[in-house]
């Protein structure tokens, strides 16, 4: 009786070492064959007839790679984009940050001015929906197409200027010295 108690665990250990993991892995994934279907869709839960109907091809002894991701710890803070290059706990020098903010404000204000100027030119050409007809627009549909393009350009410029204004408001106010 005592020999059997020791014999059973030894046999199980030998089975596991000898290849039982491959058999259990195959049984765990359905025990079926692996098929590659159109659109790089891999399936192992379909029969040979279903695979033929779907236009799938059988994959013989092809290695399958499973990539597991690491879940972040619940207590860990998610690093921000800017902190990737600096060690944890370090801060940017306030003078350097003010300089960056003022540079960003100056660039955004310059872009805003340029976009507002372009918008003014487009609105002047648009002439409240009645732009001047050109010589090459003998066909009235060509004229209507150009008017529609102008209207779309004006709308895009208005959206761009609104976005630039939003970005400028996100920046800290300029410091007066």
Is position 80 within any domain?
no
| Backbone CA torsion sign across 146, 148, 149, 151 | positive
pLDDT digits (tens, 9 = 90+) for 81-104: 554 555 556 788 888 888 999 999
What pTM does this model have?
0.46
> Both 103 and 36 in a single domain?
no
Is position 19 within any domain?
no
> Both 151 and 100 in a single domain?
yes
Q: How many domains does the chain have?
A: 2
Distance CA 100, CA 82 (A): 13
| Residue 133: strand, helix, or coil | coil
Is position 36 within any domain?
yes
Domain around 47: 25-63
pLDDT digits (tens, 9 = 90+) for 98-122: 899 999 999 999 999 999 999 999 9
């Amino acid at each position: 009786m005592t020999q059997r108690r020791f014999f059973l665990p030894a046999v199980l250990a030998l089975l596991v070492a000898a290849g039982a993991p491959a058999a259990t892995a195959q049984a765990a994934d359905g025990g079926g064959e692996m098929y590659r279907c159109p659109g790089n869709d891999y399936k192992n839960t379909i029969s040979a007839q279903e695979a033929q109907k779907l236009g799938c091809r059988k994959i013989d002894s092809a290695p399958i790679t499973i990539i597991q991701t690491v879940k972040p710890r619940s207590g860990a803070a998610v690093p921000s984009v800017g902190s990737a290059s600096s060690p944890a706990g370090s801060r940017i020098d306030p003078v350097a940050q003010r300089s960056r903010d003022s540079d960003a404000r100056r660039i955004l204000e310059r872009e805003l001015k340029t976009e507002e100027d372009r918008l003014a030119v487009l609105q002047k050409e648009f002439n409240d929906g009645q732009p001047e007809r050109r010589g090459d627009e003998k066909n009235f549909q060509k004229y209507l197409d150009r008017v529609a393009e102008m209207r779309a350009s004006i709308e895009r410029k208005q959206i761009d200027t609104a976005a630039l204004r939003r970005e400028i408001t996100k920046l800290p106010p300029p410091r007066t010295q």
